[in-house]
Chains A and B, each alone.
Chain A
Amino acid sequence: DAGVIQSPRHEVTEMGQEVTLRCKPISGHDYLFWYRQTMMRGLELLIYFNNNVPIDDSGMPEDRFSAKMPNASFSTLKIQPSEPRDSAVYFCASKHRDRSFGELFFGEGSRLTVL
């Protein structure tokens, strides 16, 4: 079975550029989460969706970050304009409604470097 699919796996960009990260959750999963991981701050929840609707975006750092889920099989996380402090690994995770709260399935992440 295909897991959570993220693209790109690696992105190097310059400060001020727009970055779009993409995620395809596991088919049938109702929840989708975007996390950010850095050495300094660990894993942080940015936003999560239930049935394509954003439920909690309080972890989104600032207005430069936005996330969408136009349908059940696709989500994007956009950073515009990007800054060096946005450099991190961004993970997408999905969960089925019948599974325990913590039974998240993570993708392999998108490593973003902003120069």
Chain B
Amino acid sequence: GESVGLHLPTLSVQEGDNSIINCAYSNSASDYFIWYKQESGKGPQFIIDIRSNMDKRQGQRVTVLLNKTVKHLSLQIAATQPGDSAVYFCAEKGGGNKLTFGTGTQLKVEL
């Protein structure tokens, strides 16, 4: 039969603006969360991680926020640049040593 591909949610931002990419996770027992960036034709690239005993962590131009009450994770990118255009995935680590990846959000930076 014909297969139907998933359409990724897309976030379009102007160069220089801040971007906020959201992720809902499913496992309330997850204790570790990660954001990855995947550019076209390449493998995922680690951006930043956060443990469940924290609600905020900052990196270079990126901030991850964790709200365990509503099982929500967000990635904020400051002063978005064309090189930030990519698909962004959140991932969670529940029991064991496995990561469960989200479906991803396509970030498009408009000049």
Q: How far is the CA of A1 from the CA of B70 in the complex (A)?
A: 41
Interface residues on A, range: 20 to 34
Residue interface mask B23-57, A partner, CB < 8 A = 1:
00000000010100000011111100100000000
Interface residues on B, range: 20 to 34
Instruction: Pick from A11-19, A68-76, A105-113 the stretch touching chain B.
Output: A105-113
- Residues on A with C-beta less than 8 A from B41 are 108
Residue interface mask A80-105, B partner, CB < 8 A = 1:
00000000000101000000111111
Asked if residues B46 and A102 are in contact (CB atoms below 8 Å), the reply is: yes
Residue B91 interfacial (CB < 8 Å): yes
Q: How close is A93's CB to chain B, nearest CB, in angstroms?
A: 7
- Residues on A with C-beta less than 8 A from B91 are 102
- Residues on A with C-beta less than 8 A from B45 are 106
Q: How close is A6's CB to chain B, nearest CB, in angstroms?
A: 8
Asked if residues A42 and B104 are in contact (CB atoms below 8 Å), the reply is: yes
Asked if residues B43 and A42 are in contact (CB atoms below 8 Å), the reply is: no
- Residues on A with C-beta less than 8 A from B89 are 42-43
Asked if residues A101 and B43 are in contact (CB atoms below 8 Å), the reply is: no
- Residues on A with C-beta less than 8 A from B49 are 100-103
Residue B96 interfacial (CB < 8 Å): yes
Given contacts A43-B101, A102-B93, A108-B43, 5 further A-B contacts (CB under 8 A): A44-B101, A45-B98, A101-B97, A103-B46, A106-B44
* Residues of A near any B CB (own CB < 8 A): 4, 39-40, 42-45, 48, 55-56, 59, 91, 93, 100-109
